[in-house]
Amino acid sequence: MFEKILFATTATPACDHAAHVAFDLAKKYNSSLHLFHVFGLPSHGFGQQVTDVRTGKADDYGTRYVEAIKKELQEMYADEIGDNSDYQIESVIGVPHREVLRMARKENADLIVMGAHSRQEEPGATRYRSVVGSTMQRVAKGARCPVLIVSRPCTTCLWYFSNIIFGTDFSKASYSAFLFAYQLAKEIGSKLWLFHALDISAMHAGKTLEQDEIEAQIAKAKQKIKDTYVSQMTDYDNYEIDVLEGIPYVEILKYARAKNGDLIVMSHHTREVDPEQALLGSTVEQVVLRASCPVASVNRPDKVADLKLTPQADATESEGG
């Protein structure tokens, strides 16, 4: 299922849980694991100086510096590596999200696993190009393969997942997320919860929506889930459909909690990440930072389309949140 897994780490304890999941997955699927850390931000023009992402200290780039970092990574993850031999460690300088995406593309990774890479963790990285938006957010947006974000301890590892929550906004990207969620649920034999949150805050700011109107829209969304996704599933009936109104990230979190979800799958295709307005981040980012289970962000069909389902004509139409 995953031939190549790219584990992008900040090399801080924030990524310990992600490390555990990455190595477990690699073991389970005999995947080759690429342990990757962007350790320094280039600075001062064309000069050789880099700012270490963890210490914030400036130092000159050099081959010995890179070797020292790699050795440190080897020791840091020695327990996780164990007797696994199909892995490699790589560390580079650059802007973290850009280098993670570059490496994923170069290695043709099937899955990227990362920690939450929260903004608090990397003030330097977000400042580099005067952009706001965390590494996680940018990797999730740019990657062609699924991105699994693990920010909390994951006691049940992926193959034990019994409840997969798929959150959709009916976008084209969501369809790729669905393919991933469905493929995974089928492979693992877990239950799939197909969920949509009717975004009443964004749609009707300043206007109170009649209850029957809300209910009508809920019914419509449920039908749409059936038409768009359920119609594509074969030999599989272990699923349930739900639509709730509210603020999307809150509703998804509440729903995941209520259903004992151990994995949330959704897309992250926010077109415009305006630094001024996106201070709170996207729905995905909010879900990642708050969820007690891992979150997979899937935006593109490249690595999930091999299910060979018939193309869904209606899948590009967007509605609601």
Partner 1 sequence: MAEGKLCNRKTVDTKEYLNALLADKSGKQYYKEMEELDVDTDKLRTTLKASLKSRLRTWLEICAHCGMCADSCFLYLANNRDPEQVPSFKIQSTLGEIVKRKGNVDNKFMRMVMDTAWSKCTCCSRCGSFCPFGIDMGIMFGYLRGLCFSQGFVPWELKIGTGMHRIFRAQMDITSEDWVDTCEWMAEEYEDDWPGLAIPVDKVNADIMYTLNAREPKHYPEDIAEAAILFHLAGENWTVPSEGWEQTNLAMFAGDWAACKMQVESVYDAMNRLKPKRMVGTECGHAHRSTVIEGPYWAGLETGKTPVKSIHYVEWVAEALRTGKLKIDPAKKIKEPVTYQDSCNYIRNGGLKDISREIMSYIAEDFREMSPNREHNFCCGGGGGFNGIGRYRQQRNAGLQIKRQQILDTGAKLVISPCHNCWDAIRDMEEVFKDGIRWSFLKPLLINMVEVPEHLKPED
Give the residues lining the site for partner 1 (CB under 8 A): 42-49, 60-65, 94-95, 98, 101-102, 105, 127-131, 142, 144, 171-173, 269, 271-272, 274, 299-300, 316, 318
Q: How far is the CB of 103 from partner 1 (least distance, A)?
A: 12
Q: For partner 1, which is the closer residue by CB, 151 or 299?
A: 299
Q: Rounded to an integer, what distance in angstroms lies between the CA atom of residue 80 and that of residue 22?
A: 9
Q: How far is the CB of 63 from partner 1 (least distance, A)?
A: 6
Quick check: 37 and 68 in contact, CB under 8 A? Answer: no
Q: For partner 1, which is the closer residue by CB, 9 or 299?
A: 299
**Full DSSP string of 115-167:** ----GGG-HHHHHTTT--S-HHHHHHHH-SS-EEE--S--SS-GGG--EEEEE
Q: For partner 1, which is the closer residue by CB, 46 or 234?
A: 46
Environment class of 85 (CB within 10 Å of its CB; exposed 0-12, middle 13-18, buried 19+): exposed
Q: For partner 1, which is the closer residue by CB, 13 or 47?
A: 47
Q: Which residues, in sequence order, are bridge partners of residue 297?
A: 147, 266
- Radius of gyration (C-alpha) of the chain in whole angstroms: 20
Q: For partner 1, which is the closer residue by CB, 95 or 263?
A: 95
H/E run at residue 106 = helix 96-107
Q: How far is the CB of 169 from partner 1 (least distance, A)?
A: 10
Q: How far is the CB of 130 from partner 1 (least distance, A)?
A: 5
Q: For partner 1, which is the closer residue by CB, 64 or 207?
A: 64
Residue 114, SS3 per DSSP = strand
The strand pair at 111-114 and 4-8 is best described as parallel
Q: How far is the CB of 138 from partner 1 (least distance, A)?
A: 10
Q: For partner 1, which is the closer residue by CB, 210 or 272?
A: 272
Q: How far is the CB of 140 from partner 1 (least distance, A)?
A: 13
Q: For partner 1, which is the closer residue by CB, 77 or 175?
A: 175
Q: For partner 1, which is the closer residue by CB, 96 or 261?
A: 96
Quick check: 283 and 141 in contact, CB under 8 A? Answer: no
Q: How far is the CB of 262 from partner 1 (least distance, A)?
A: 29
Q: Rounded to an integer, what distance in angstroms lies between the CA atom of residue 36 and that of residue 178?
A: 28
Quick check: 148 and 117 in contact, CB under 8 A? Answer: no
Q: How far is the CB of 307 from partner 1 (least distance, A)?
A: 20
Q: How far is the CB of 47 from partner 1 (least distance, A)?
A: 3
**Full DSSP string of 2-67:** -SEEEEE--SSGGGHHHHHHHHHHHHHHT-EEEEEEEEEEE-STTSSEEEETTT--EEE--HHHHH
Quick check: 112 and 35 in contact, CB under 8 A? Answer: no
